[in-house]
Amino acid sequence: MQISFWGQTLPQLQQFFAARGENPAKAALVYESIYRRGQRDFAALIWLKEPLRRALDEHFSLALPQVIARVDDGESSKFLLRLADGHAVEAVLMRRRYGIFLCLSTQVGCNMACAFCESGRQKKQRDLTAAEMLAQVLAVEEASGEKVTNLVLMGIGEPFDNYANTCDFLDIITAPEGLNLGPRHITVSTCGLPQQIRAFARRPRPTNLAISLHAPNDALRQQLMPIGRAYPLAQLLEALHEYADSTGQKLLIEYVMLQEVNDGAEQALELAQLLRGLPCTVNLIPYNETAHLQFSRSSKERTMHFYDLLKQQGMSVTLRKELGAEAKAACGQLRAEILSQPPEQS
């Protein structure tokens, strides 16, 4: 049975050659041809002996997921991609002044069940493989004709609930012999799993890390995010300090602004207190309202007041520009919408 080439780390591909008594250094040359020169046919690698080309062809598929829906709003394009087993995942391309960002999914559905999130309603059906994560990048590049310069793992799913595949994917996409995307051009976003955060800190060439915090205290966080019941904030903060210490990096703290839920003045002060001493930037995110959930977006006034209070406390704060609202960029929205439509008659 064929397996996807897109899931092969360089050491795994070296192993493929070594197992056939071939020089493993050929793996890097194959990586270069496929990833850097865009070759999409093993038969064209004429510098390899014919039986090796045939073996590659027999073992590895270079297939990409099919784009089954696309919504554009100028600044962003959202793609719904169909995987080999029929499941669908979303990827959103966002064009910004400082690069072309792709927001990727890491699971089909999500088990974290955050109260405000559309993906949480959809439940996890399965993990994505490293190959499926990488194939999202290539499928979107092919469909859009644009080159992705930055990645955010903020689509559907919890990357650290699919830790090994996420790490393999990161190894493949950052390999200098392959796509060579800089780890500092990648942001992994997690709802906060302390053990995985610690393990991630110990990896070579760490990426940026974003934490979905969304609440300044345990009581509220536990209402909004069930994961907060398993790991209280004290434990999460300890892991974050460790990440910052061992990588020398600043963390990104995501805080989605929910009207009259987590956006009060006292909560801003509580948040500043909680994060004191942690090298981080707080990113205030406008909530994308969804038809199925009862939360609303904080008003401009409340958001600005919250922002000002954090600033006065000496925090580094940014306001996320609203992008992709028309492209239904909120987690899981396009997928929920398309999948809830009756299938087209043909």
146 and 176 Cβ atoms separated by less than 8 Å: no
Residue 178 vs 206, nearer CB to ligand SAH: 206
What pairs with residue 71 in β-bridges? 78
Out of 114, 167, 280, 331, pick the active-site residue.
Answer: 331
CA angle, 296 then 119 then 161, to 5°: 125
Of 33, 254, 310, 334, the residue at the interface with ligand SAH (CB under 6 A) is: 254
Q: What values do phi and psi take at 291, rounded to 5?
A: -60, -30
The alpha carbon of 56 is separated from its chain's Cα centroid by a whole number of angstroms, namely 30
Distance between CA atoms of 272 and 315, rounded to whole angstroms?
7
Of 81, 256, 271, 275, the residue at the interface with ligand SAH (CB under 6 A) is: 256
285 binds ligand SAH (CB under 6 A): yes
288 binds ligand SAH (CB under 6 A): yes
116 binds ligand SAH (CB under 6 A): yes
263 binds ligand SAH (CB under 6 A): no
Strands (E) across the chain are located at 3-4, 60-61, 66-72, 76-82, 88-96, 99-103, 107-108, 126-127, 150-153, 186-190, 208-212, 251-257, 280-286, 316-319
331 binds ligand SAH (CB under 6 A): yes
Out of 32, 75, 90, 260, pick the active-site residue.
Answer: 90
Q: Residues 6 or more apart from 111 whose CB is under 8 A from it?
A: 123, 124, 158, 161
137 binds ligand SAH (CB under 6 A): no
90 binds ligand SAH (CB under 6 A): no
Stretch that binds ligand SAH, among 17-25, 91-99, 184-192, 299-307 (CB under 6 A): 184-192
Residue 132 vs 254, nearer CB to ligand SAH: 254
Query: Given the rule CB under 6 A, which residues bind ligand SAH?
Result: 112, 114, 116-117, 154, 158, 189-191, 212, 254, 256, 285, 287-288, 290, 330-331
Positions annotated as catalytic residues are 90, 331
